Chain A
Amino acid sequence: MNLDKLSIFGTDNIGIYVFTNDKYTILPKIDDRLVLDKIQEVLKTEVIQTTVAKSVLVGILVSGNNDVIILPKTITDDEYQSIKQQAKDVRVEILDIKPTALGNIILMNSHAALLYKELTDVEVEKIRKVIQVEAVKRGSIANIITVGSVGVVTDKAGLVHVDVTEEELTELSEFFKVKLDTGTVNFGSVFIRSGLIANKNGVLVGSSTTGPEILRIQRAFND
């Protein structure tokens, strides 16, 4: 597994700008060739450069897994068409619910999806229809309700908030059907999604992530 440090737009919160699965990586337009090369080299995916709802915060606004990419209702037609044209191997869907920061409120892989606690039943049903995964439930991680922001889960492994209890961790592991571990990124940040991008090929971490943190991340994402 490849692991590398990265900073985008001069900040180490790389996860808020980038969404990735095993096939595609969506990120805003970046002029720096070195950053793009590093992303392609480590994640080994096709790169789609676009904004979402005229914003560069793609990682926050987009969620998904290897079968589906879900976009917020605020996305413009041009952006939707460009993503749909370039991402041919996956379904691209617009989710019409009140919250738009889908990356923050949905934590999902190909087996399951954990949702924001304050979604209504109707919204949960809509999400269930769109993402079509086996298990969908509402919940929280370490008493934080924006579950998407405090964890990263792939089809192989995952990393979640450092303060989760052992019972919670085993429960989450059984739910997502992968081995999960706890850790921090960017010198103590518990918002894992903001500093870590991962798929089955590799992991990118924010540039201020320390050595011991990288060791924990490697332990979590290695086979």
Chain B
Amino acid sequence: MTEQNNQEVQEVQNQQTTTQQQVEQQPQKQTEVKQEVQQEKKSEKKEQKTAEKKRAKKEKDNFEMVVNFRRAFMGRRNVRARRTLNMIRSIVKRHFDAERVIIDPTLARAVSTNGRDKIVRKVRINVRKVGEKIYLVTLALKSE
């Protein structure tokens, strides 16, 4: 009986030690998990920063400005649309020291949405450098 009792006691002791070990191991696991989460967060932050930098660079490359066509509206009706395009060209040339300005067809169409007589009064344009003293002008769309 005594031997059996001894064995039981030993088993119980062993179980206790294993539970103690488990209890000790648990915080280690928790810390590892925490570290992993932190690393993931850090990597996410890094990615976000790089994305922001890329976006900022893109924004820097793309210069946005508003052109007012009040002056183009004065004068003959049937040349207003043409005059707006010339106006965009001259403004971009002056501001960016450009030699050649390429106007996107969507912008040209957007200017004369209401016909060549009733041009839109203002337009927001996006200017991008595509070569040495060559600039591409597109219609700036509102981004969400």
Interface residues of A (CB under 8 A from B): 162, 182-184, 188, 210-213, 216
Contact = CB atoms under 8 A, between A and B. Distances in A.
A222 to B, nearest CB: 15
B50 to A, nearest CB: 21
Interface in B57-91: 60, 63, 65
B142 interface: no
A184 B92 CA distance: 12
B29 interface: no
Main SS of chain B's interface residues?
Answer: helix
A188 B94 contact: yes
B97 interface: yes
A83 to B, nearest CB: 38
- Which of B60, B63, B94 has the largest number of chain A CB atoms within 10 A? B94
Nearest to B98: A212
Contacts, number: 18
Among all A-B residue pairs, the 7 with the closest Cβ atoms: A212-B96, A216-B97, A162-B94, A212-B95, A212-B63, A211-B63, A188-B95
B96 A184 contact: no
B128 to A, nearest CB: 11
Nearest to B91: A188
A12 B65 CA distance: 19
18 contacts: A162-B94, A182-B97, A183-B97, A184-B94, A184-B95, A188-B94, A188-B95, A210-B63, A210-B65, A210-B95, A211-B60, A211-B63, A212-B63, A212-B95, A212-B96, A212-B97, A213-B95, A216-B97
Interface residues of B, number: 7
Contacts of B94: 162, 184, 188
Interface string B94-115: 1111000000000000000000
Contacts of A216: 97
A216 to B, nearest CB: 6
Contacts of B60: 211
Nearest to A183: B97
Highest count of chain A CB atoms <10 Å: which of B60, B65, B95: B95
A216 B98 CA distance: 11
Given A184-B94, A188-B95, A212-B95, 7 more contacts: A182-B97, A188-B94, A210-B95, A211-B63, A212-B63, A213-B95, A216-B97
Contacts of A182: 97
Contacts of B63: 210-212
A183 B97 CA distance: 8
Contacts of B65: 210
A135 B137 CA distance: 44
A79 to B, nearest CB: 39
Interface string B22-61: 0000000000000000000000000000000000000010
A162 B60 CA distance: 23
A212 B97 CA distance: 9
B56 to A, nearest CB: 12
A55 B63 CA distance: 38
